[in-house]
Structures are given as C-alpha cells and as structure tokens.
Amino acid sequence: MAQHKVYTDAVTKYVTLPLENAVNAMLTSKYNPFYYHGALPQFFLWVLFLSGLLLFAYYIPTIDNAYSSKEAINAFTSVDYITNVIPFGVVIRGIHRYAGDAMVLTIILHALRVWFTDRYRQYRWVQWFSGIVLLLVVFFIGQTGYYLVWDERSLVLTRMTVTALEAIPGVGPALKAWFINGETISNLTLSNYLFIHIGLSFGLLFGLWMHYVRMARPVLTPPPVINYALMAILLAVVFMNPIDMGQMAVLTSQPTQFEIDWFFLWPYALLLQWPPMTFWLVMAAVTIFFSILPLPFLVRGASGTELPPVEAAEVVLTKCTGCSLCDKDCPYEAIEMVPAPAGSRFKLLATVLPHRCSSCGLCVGACAFDAIDLPNNQDAEVNNKIKALLAQS
C-alpha cells in the first residue's frame, strides 16, 4: 500500500497546477479559491454557527405529545414552526443544512489537495491526524442534526444507530444508553442529541486549535469577495432546493424509507447492507488506513525508495544575536527564543525544535547574520556556488 510520490506528482503536474494556473489567469492568485482551500470549510463553520444560533432560539428538544395533535409542542412542531411560520425560517434551515454539506465537500477537497501536493506528512502529521478526527466529528455532528428534526427519518436513523451501537461487544449497551440517554427513546433522548450537536460543534473549535497550533499565521479567512461568492452559491442552492421535512415521528410506527443526504448519512446506506460489526470494523480500518498514511515507510519516491527524512535547521550559536526575526518568520513555529547563556552579549538565543522543522530554509532567508543554516545546504556554500558560477567564463 505504499504511496508512490511519482503518481501524485503527475497529478499535480498535469491536473491541479494547470487548473490552478487557469484560475489564476482569470482571478489572479489573490482571489484563487484553491489557495484558500483550508479556509473554505472554516467559513462554512461560521455560517453554521450563526444559522444554528438562530434555529436554536426556536427549537424545542422534546418528543412530548407526539401522538396527540398538530398543536403539540415538541421538536417536530418547533421545526415545523420555524419552517412555515417564522419569516425566512425555511431559508435559515436551508442555509444550515446546505452549509453543512458544503463544509463536508470543502473538507474533502482540502484533504485531497494536501494529499496530492504532498503536504500531509512529516512535520505536518499533527494537522493530518487532527484533520481526520475533525472530519469524523463533523460527520457525527451532521448526523445528530438529522436526528433533531424528529421526523420519520430521525426515528429510523435513531433506531439504526441504536442497533449498530448495541452490536459492539462489551461497551454496546452502555453506548446505547448514552446515545438515547436511557433505555428507551424519551424526551431525554432529544436533549442529549441537542447537547451532542451543539457541544461537539464547540468541541470542533478545540480540534481546530490542534489543527492550527503548529501553523504560524494560519489562513482562516479567504478575501471577502470569495466569502460573498460562496454565500451567493449557498443561497442559490437554498432557493433552488428548498428543504422540507417528513411526517412527525411516531414511536409506535415503523417507517422504513427515507431520503439520504450523501454527505452525512452515507454510513446508514452501508448499515443497510452490512451487519453492524462489519460496518464498525470497516470504519475502523478506513480510519486507521488514513491515519497512518504519513508514516515514512509508506511513502516512496520515484525509484521506490524511502524519501529522505527532514534535516532540521541549526543555529550557529556564535553568530546568533537573538534578534528573533527567524522566530517571527518560521511558518511552522519551529523556532523558540530562549534566554542567552550567561556571558553572552545578547539577551536571547534562537533554538530549533527539530520535530517541527520542515527544513525549508525560510529562517535562513530571515537571518541577516548568517546565524542559522540547513545542515545539507549551508548559506556559505550557496554563496560560494554563486560566486564560482559568476567567476567562470
């Protein structure tokens, strides 16, 4: 299963780079959405937070009186009220649903691009791994969103989830009790769904902090023009495909059919085909597969050999003046300024955290004192090479 960099290099050379150049020719590099691929899901996250806040104002997480009448106040009727009575309620719901789909779509594009451009391994493994965890959490949050509507689809999904959880040996019953907040579906079930939906959404912020922590100056927002364009596309989708809801869930009924949102509800399509344990094992295997992709022995160069490891930059202790320009410019937060040793003329000294270093040499470019070097490409050698080339002929 070793990944050969030759193939991804070919994809970038013949597909992605020409495509990006074409977009650059139209929009200039400043407004090229490909260069903000990580910021796009982040934009949709803010849209989801805001639209979710508005929905939260009217949502009632109970299944009370679900049998009696249309006047009943419960989750379904509150969603119905949002959809049909509140001005633009259906638009807000549409924005909330399609922004979720868009977030999944842009996350996958983001993941594909970092994989094709070989920007996922070595000093970036924390970002890759936290990204996988974040995507799984996003899937789960989106699914809980579908439970919250409490129409017939929600009931089928809940029952399918309960069956799937119960099948896990050992912890199954406990997971089931956690999921529906008791032994049977009750009012507490929906408060738990709401808690998961909103609580995990804020949990995403912690995950995103992990995702960004080693990146100096992460690109979190595209230029406003791109945001407006994304919002316009989103609104166009919302108005072209206004969302509806099914029948109210009735606990005594056995609904069997529902529409699948392929961005979030694909696991349920698999659960219809496979026994629960097969499903869990396949999910675990896929997650592990993607998690270990960055391992060095799985990435091969052109000749099938392992790629060389990163050789971290080294500070020339006698030359460093502690000016901290390299610390400011390092794109991976790999340089730390420490107090200079006693007897030094300077207050600070730069040190390199080798496990974070990408060996890009940006610190070399930032240093006006030749005080930091790549061990296999020293600036003195580069200068000598330039001099030698110019001296000939």
Q: Which is nearer to another protein, 154 or 359 (CB)?
A: 359
* Residue 155 buriedness (CB in 10 A; 0-12 / 13-18 / 19+): buried
- In the region spanning residues 316 to 335, those forming contacts with another protein, defined by CB under 8 A, are 325, 329, 331-332
* Residue 355 binds to another protein (criterion: CB under 8 A): no
Interacting span for another protein (CB under 8 A) from 9-17, 191-199, 290-298, 338-346: 9-17
What does 121-133 look like in DSSP terms, one character per residue?
SGGGHHHHHHHHH
**Shortest separation between residue 118's beta carbon and another protein, angstroms:** 8
Q: Which is nearer to another protein, 92 or 372 (CB)?
A: 372
How many CB atoms lie under 10 A from the CB of residue 391?
7
Residue from 173, 199, 365, 375 touching another protein (CB under 8 A): that is 365
Count of residues that interact with another protein, criterion CB under 8 A: 46
Q: Give just the sign of the alpha carbon dihedral 57, 61, 62, 66.
A: positive
**Shortest separation between residue 255's beta carbon and another protein, angstroms:** 49
- In the region spanning residues 105 to 144, those forming contacts with another protein, defined by CB under 8 A, are 117-119
Residue from 84, 217, 282, 292 touching another protein (CB under 8 A): that is 217
What does 321-370 look like in DSSP terms, one character per residue?
----HHHHH-TTS-EEEEEPPTT-SSSEEEEE-TTT-----HHHHH-SSS
Binding mask 16-55 for another protein (x = CB under 8 A): -xx-xx--x----xx-x-xx--------------------
Contact 291, 129 (CB under 8 A): yes
Residue from 7, 13, 209, 213 touching another protein (CB under 8 A): that is 13
Q: Which is nearer to another protein, 41 or 52 (CB)?
A: 41
- The residues, any chain, with a CB within 8 Å of residue 159's CB and separated by 6 or more, are none
User: Which residue type does 368 have?
Assistant: A
* Residue 391 binds to another protein (criterion: CB under 8 A): yes
* Residue 385 binds to another protein (criterion: CB under 8 A): yes
* Residue 11 binds to another protein (criterion: CB under 8 A): no
Of 265, 273, 268, nearest to 160 by C-alpha is 268
**Shortest separation between residue 219's beta carbon and another protein, angstroms:** 9
- Which tokens hold the place of 342? 């006693």
- Residues 137, 213: Cα–Cα separation, whole Å: 19
* Residue 386 binds to another protein (criterion: CB under 8 A): yes
Triad 356, 358, 361: Cα angle to 5°? 125
**Shortest separation between residue 253's beta carbon and another protein, angstroms:** 54
**Shortest separation between residue 17's beta carbon and another protein, angstroms:** 5
* Residue 347 buriedness (CB in 10 A; 0-12 / 13-18 / 19+): exposed
Q: Which is nearer to another protein, 240 or 389 (CB)?
A: 389
How many CB atoms lie under 10 A from the CB of residue 62?
21
Residue from 126, 188, 340, 360 touching another protein (CB under 8 A): that is 360
* Residue 226 buriedness (CB in 10 A; 0-12 / 13-18 / 19+): buried
* Residue 374 binds to another protein (criterion: CB under 8 A): yes
**Shortest separation between residue 233's beta carbon and another protein, angstroms:** 21
* Residue 348 binds to another protein (criterion: CB under 8 A): no
**Shortest separation between residue 302's beta carbon and another protein, angstroms:** 13
Of 307, 311, 309, nearest to 377 by C-alpha is 311
Kindly report the backbone phi and psi dihedral angles of residue 346, in degrees, each rounded to the nearest multiple of 5, phi listed first.
-115, 165
**Shortest separation between residue 313's beta carbon and another protein, angstroms:** 10
* Residue 216 binds to another protein (criterion: CB under 8 A): yes
- Residues 29, 381: Cα–Cα separation, whole Å: 33
* Residue 227 binds to another protein (criterion: CB under 8 A): no
- The residues, any chain, with a CB within 8 Å of residue 200's CB and separated by 6 or more, are 137, 140, 141, 144
Chain positions contacting another protein, by CB under 8 A: 12-13, 17-18, 20-21, 24, 29-30, 32, 34-35, 117-119, 215-217, 325, 329, 331-332, 358-362, 364-368, 370, 374, 377, 379, 382-383, 385-387, 389-393
